[in-house]
Amino acid sequence: MKGNDNVARQMPDKNGVSELHHDAMTGGGRIDFEIIEGFFFAYRDFISDPDAILEKSGFGRAHHRVVHFVNREPGMTVADLLDTLKITKQSLARVLKQLIDSGYIQQVAGPEDRRQRKLYPTRAGRELALALAEPQSRRIARAFEAMSADERRVVIQFLTGMQNAKSE
Amino acid sequence: MKGNDNVARQMPDKNGVSELHHDAMTGGGRIDFEIIEGFFFAYRDFISDPDAILEKSGFGRAHHRVVHFVNREPGMTVADLLDTLKITKQSLARVLKQLIDSGYIQQVAGPEDRRQRKLYPTRAGRELALALAEPQSRRIARAFEAMSADERRVVIQFLTGMQNAKSE
DNA sequence: TAAAATATGTCAACAAAGCTGACATATTTT
DNA sequence: AAAATATGTCAGCTTTGTTGACATATTTTA
């Protein structure tokens, strides 16, 4: 530490420390902090599962998403993928090119509209997607362990309700 | 497009197109794709809410997390925050410094251990954190709309079950 | 009390993954 | 023939994460 400027003393003084909030934020009960934070921690841990696997291939989370959705909907076009991921084509281009060059995804010119590039997973791409989904599915199964079928449906209802309306 | 190399023809040929998967990945029913994808879309939309507000202050999502947790637990130390966010101190330093310099957070030397820097939100910091939590809480309320208290508890149970075990 | 450990800060370099803007090509639609 | 569309690509920038090294103040330990 080179200078301990900016470090206020504990007691109220001219530094404006008296303006500080020492009480936990409650929002007067209007804010659902329990869900906000539970969602944050759950998602943080959820996406950490595949990271070890991705490291081995030299890929990141962006590659994970691409290989996942191409496997879930083989034949989807680049435009479909952009719409699903909500990123720019320049952003997608980088990771998609790497997945194609590495032999996990292939492109096929659209049979009707030959401008399109339909995306298909190779055998290796399918295997990678499954390997990535596995630990996530195990985590879900663990969270569902003590739950009834009805309760699991409630979770699906919640996740659906948290999403933006589909624009179709 | 400069070259249409790498673009395979539709029908099986020597390019190895016959190795492609044209069927949607199912994982033999062992993988819970509905939750995996529902979680992805829900979280994507959930974190998009505060973005418009953050833009105005010139902050990003990293700042959001910091200002949120400091408001939720005023007096937490830098080490506490690092443990909560699971990022490096160099990564935290950047955004924390900006929040301090902009007057949203202040540091106070620890009363017992004076090496520590206890973090407190200013009035502006409290207001920002609440403004960011509001649209997220509204989204949660919408997803909860048709749910009973028991069903809401199921959601909390799910989010808790998805998290890694606390290391205490 | 001197030495070691701890909490924090900081410099520098780098990587992943997003963004904007501009422009090229092939193909389809008008 | 011209315009629109789907895709690719170049260049540069931003945010947010990483490692490694080292500095300072303070507390703990030997």
Q: What CATH number is associated with residue B109? A: 1.10.10.10
What average pLDDT does the segment A32-54 reach? 95
Contact criterion met (CB < 8 Å) for B32 and A137? yes
What average pLDDT does the segment B48-73 reach? 94
Of B122, B136, B156, the CB nearest to A20: B122
A140 CB inside 7 Å of strand D: no
pLDDT at residue number A16: 46
What is the distance of C-alpha A26 from the center of its chain? Answer: 28
What average pLDDT does the segment B151-159 reach? 98
Q: Which nucleotide is nearest to B96 (CA to C1')?
A: C9
The answer to whether position B105 is within a domain reads yes
Interface probe for A, chosen from B1, B15, B30, B35 (most Cβ of A below 10 Å), is: B35
SS3 readout for B92-151: HHHHHHHHHHCCCEEEEECCCCCCCEEEEECHHHHHHHHHHHHHHHHHHHHHHCCCCHHH
Q: Where are the beta strands (DSSP E) in A65-116?
A: 76-77, 105-109
Please determine, for residue B15, whether its predicted confidence score (pLDDT) is greater than 50. Answer: no
Range of the domain at B136: 58-145
Asked whether the beta carbons of B23 and A74 are under 8 A apart, the reply is yes
pLDDT at residue number B14: 43
pLDDT at residue number A9: 44
pLDDT at residue number B17: 54
The answer to whether position A92 is within a domain reads yes
Span CA (A91) to C1' (C20), Å = 11
Interface probe for B, chosen from A1, A35, A41, A64 (most Cβ of B below 10 Å), is: A35
Residues 89-128 on chain B lying near strand D, CB distance under 7 A? 90-91, 94-95, 109, 112-115
CA distance linking residue B64 with residue B152, whole number of Å: 26
What average pLDDT does the segment A134-154 reach? 97
The answer to whether position B15 is within a domain reads no
Residue B56: band (very low, low, confident or very high) from pLDDT cuts 50, 70, 90: confident
Residues 30-59 on chain A lying near strand C, CB distance under 7 A? 58-59
Residue B97 exposure: Cα atoms within 13 Å on the Cβ side? 7
What average pLDDT does the segment A47-75 reach? 95
pLDDT at residue number A2: 40
Interface probe for B, chosen from A158, A160, A166 (most Cβ of B below 10 Å), is: A158
What average pLDDT does the segment B141-147 reach? 97
Residue B25 with chain A: CB contacts under 8 Å? 71-72, 121, 126, 129-130, 133
The answer to whether position B67 is within a domain reads yes
pLDDT per position as a tens digit, B77-133: 999 999 999 999 999 999 999 999 999 999 999 999 999 999 999 999 999 999 999
pLDDT at residue number A52: 85
Can you say whether the dihedral through the CA atoms of A90, A92, A95, A98 is positive or negative?
Answer: negative
Asked whether the beta carbons of B129 and A27 are under 8 A apart, the reply is no
CA distance linking residue A64 with residue A131, whole number of Å: 11
Total count of domains within chain B: 1
pLDDT at residue number B150: 97
Asked whether the beta carbons of B119 and B74 are under 8 A apart, the reply is yes
pLDDT at residue number A17: 54
Distance from CA of B145 to the nearest CA of A (A): 9
pLDDT at residue number B55: 87
The answer to whether position A26 is within a domain reads no
Nucleotides of D under 7 A from a protein CB: 5-12, 15-21, 23-28
The answer to whether position B48 is within a domain reads no
The answer to whether position A21 is within a domain reads no
Round the average pLDDT of chain A to a whole number and report it: 90
pLDDT at residue number B16: 46
CA distance linking residue B91 with residue B95, whole number of Å: 7
B60 CB inside 7 Å of strand D: yes
Considering only CA atoms, which residue is closest to the C1' of nucleotide D20? B90
What average pLDDT does the segment A127-154 reach? 97
Residue B134 with chain A: CB contacts under 8 Å? 30-31
Residues of chain B with pLDDT > 90, as a percent, come to: 82
pLDDT per position as a tens digit, A62-96: 999 999 999 999 999 999 999 999 999 999 999 99
pLDDT per position as a tens digit, A3-28: 444 555 444 444 445 589 999 999 89
CA distance linking residue B69 with residue B57, whole number of Å: 18
B117 CB inside 7 Å of strand C: yes
pLDDT at residue number A19: 87
Residue B140 with chain A: CB contacts under 8 Å? 32, 35-36, 162
Residue B5: band (very low, low, confident or very high) from pLDDT cuts 50, 70, 90: very low
The answer to whether position B73 is within a domain reads yes
What average pLDDT does the segment A38-50 reach? 95
